[in-house]
Amino acid sequence: MSTEPVMTAKPRVAAGLLEGRHRVVAAAIVVLAVILPLIPPFNSQDYQRWLVGAALMAAMATAFDFTAGYINIVNFGFAAFVGLGAYTSGLLAVELGLSPWIGIFVGAGVAGFVGLLTGMLTLRLRGIYAAVMAWFVGLAVMGLVRNVPEITRGSLGLNVPLLLDTSDNLPYYYVILAMLLVTLAVLTLVIRSHIGLAFRAIGQNVQAARASGINPTRYLVINFTLATAFAGWLGGFYAHYYGILTPDMMLTTHTVEVLAVAYIGGRGSLWGPAIVAFPLSIGVEALRTQFANLPGFHLVLYGLLLITVMIYWPGGVAGLLRSIEARLVRGGPDRAGGARQA
């Protein structure tokens, strides 16, 4: 009797078990994220404020990885798109009295529209040229905000209303945690669709993708527009959580922080940056508190971690976990087979 059906069934069973295991782990991580601010010492206001910043960083790193990890273009103007969404929502609230809950979505639309225009103009370029053009657009947006003080108040800062009528950090944490989960879920669904397959093909080899009938420019623009829209949405939360906006939030150094988290977490995974952002952001905040007299120390730490990851684990934490899982999966059948033979 032929054993071919049995042999082909084994990989399917293994894949099903792995997928089920991944869902259980993902559910456990979400539950942990939900109850974490209720566990000492994270139930204090200081730690909860750090958790809010960590969840915001996780969401931004996820959106950043959607572009850098899948179409292989680094958006060095990412922080400017976050700021664009923040200023749009903030100005609508201040000048027109629009609810911040609506303004953050308008900010997402404006940032996505500017991202669409940027993509149409620059993403015909490749590699460093596209990255530099995105950076120039970001500098232009920051310069516009800085040099129109009669509207944005420039370096003096724009005071905007808060998202919630409370000074407690816990409700804000659950809001940004929900936004993180939405960002991760939507972008994951896109990656798992035929659009995501096109992204992967373009990121690996543009010429081969074009030869197979894929229009690279079209999919690059789709990717860039989605990523910048989520950046603007998260910027709206930033505006109405911190309550004050300055052009400095658009500095390239903030993009570099997001880039470091995305690369340390693992390019092209989405979930890697989202998970790594929590311990990394909280650890950095703790060190900044201890070494308050050393401004910029956190950037040195990010740099050292990034260098270490690039040398020893080029796939980041996500790649490291995948390799460990692959070894366990390969080793499992061998040990089982050995036991049967014995």
Residue ranges per domain, the chain? 35-322
Tell me what the pLDDT averaged over the chain comes to: 86
Average pLDDT over residues 63-83: 93
**250: which DSSP letter?**
G
Distance CA 101, CA 105 (A): 7
**For position 1, what pLDDT does the model report?**
45
pLDDT digits (tens, 9 = 90+) for 268-321: 999 999 999 999 999 888 888 777 677 777 778 888 888 888 888 888 888 888
**For position 334, what pLDDT does the model report?**
41
Task: State yes or no: pLDDT of 218 exceeds 60.
Answer: yes
Q: Sorting pLDDT into bands at 50, 70 and 90, what band is 18?
A: low
**Which CATH number applies to 35-322?**
1.10.3470
H-assigned helices in 123-251: 128-146, 149-152, 169-191, 194-204, 206-211, 216-242
Q: Torsion angle, CA of 176/177/181/184, rounded to 10 degrees?
A: 70
Which of 92-106, 168-182, 287-301 shows the lowest per-residue confidence on average (mean pLDDT)? 287-301
Beta carbons within 8 Å of 313's beta carbon, 6+ residues apart: 319, 320
**For position 16, what pLDDT does the model report?**
54
Task: State yes or no: pLDDT of 327 exceeds 90.
Answer: no
**For position 59, what pLDDT does the model report?**
97
Distance CA 107, CA 110 (A): 5
